[in-house]
Amino acid sequence: MVFGGIGTVALAWYYGSPRFIEVGYRPEQPVPYSHKLHVGELGLDCRYCHVSVELSHEANIPPTQTCMNCHAAIKPNSEKLQLVRDSFENNTPIAWVRVHKLPDYAYFNHSVHIKAGVGCASCHGNVGEMDTVEVKAPLSMGWCLECHRDPQQHIRPKSEITNMTWEPPPNQAELVKDVMDTLNPPQDCFACHR
């Protein structure tokens, strides 16, 4: 009886919780940090905080020090920043809630995509308009493959990688012709399941 009860609760919890890769998943964060304010209004580049995105497979979440570069002086008494100050003083990281997460058996690499000229907005949507980050693309296998079969409309100049409003120009096909010849987005199973 007891074990059955626990099992039922666990199952309901597992299937009832939103999957990380589900469109619209938008968990509350411990600190009300807003991309809309910091990116959309203040104009900070993604790489000021997500430093490793073009260097590594993973895009880092910034350490508290990055926030304190400004917030030691800006709004030093704000209640909304109390957790940030605590984190800094106690040297303990802020417990940000993960938003996007592929299953372990799928392999993804940020730097490869950035170097190929795929912008953040192609996969994350316009983050500069989000107060709280939300999943905008399904991150499913079908979605990955759809772009891998025909990435042409997603390849942009390197200078526009973090531009949230870039659109391909009418002569896109001609502009990216040479780059397209050098790209080889994989469709074989072992590329993403290694």
Q: Which amino acid is at 122?
A: S
Q: Which residue has the tokens 């508290």?
A: 64
C-beta of 9: minimal distance to ligand HEC in Å? 23
C-beta of 155: minimal distance to ligand HEC in Å? 7
Query: CB neighbours of 26 closer than 8 A, spacing ≥ 6?
Result: 99, 132, 133, 134, 135
- Considering beta carbons, is residue 21 or 175 the nearer one to ligand HEC? 21
- Considering beta carbons, is residue 10 or 145 the nearer one to ligand HEC? 145
Q: Which residue has the tokens 């074989």?
A: 188
- Considering beta carbons, is residue 28 or 174 the nearer one to ligand HEC? 28
- Considering beta carbons, is residue 96 or 166 the nearer one to ligand HEC? 96
C-beta of 24: minimal distance to ligand HEC in Å? 14
Report the sign of the C-alpha dihedral through residues 18, 107, 140, 49, in that order. Answer: positive
Cβ atoms of residues 155 and 117 within 8 Å: yes
Burial (CB count <10 Å: 0-12, 13-18, 19+), residue 99: middle
Q: Which of 131, 126, 127, 121 is nearest to 153 (CA)?
A: 121
C-beta of 84: minimal distance to ligand HEC in Å? 5
- Considering beta carbons, is residue 10 or 75 the nearer one to ligand HEC? 75
Q: Which of 17, 2, 21 is nearest to 142 (CA)?
A: 21
C-beta of 89: minimal distance to ligand HEC in Å? 15
Q: Which amino acid is at 166?
A: W
C-beta of 7: minimal distance to ligand HEC in Å? 22
Cβ atoms of residues 124 and 35 within 8 Å: no
- Considering beta carbons, is residue 8 or 153 the nearer one to ligand HEC? 153
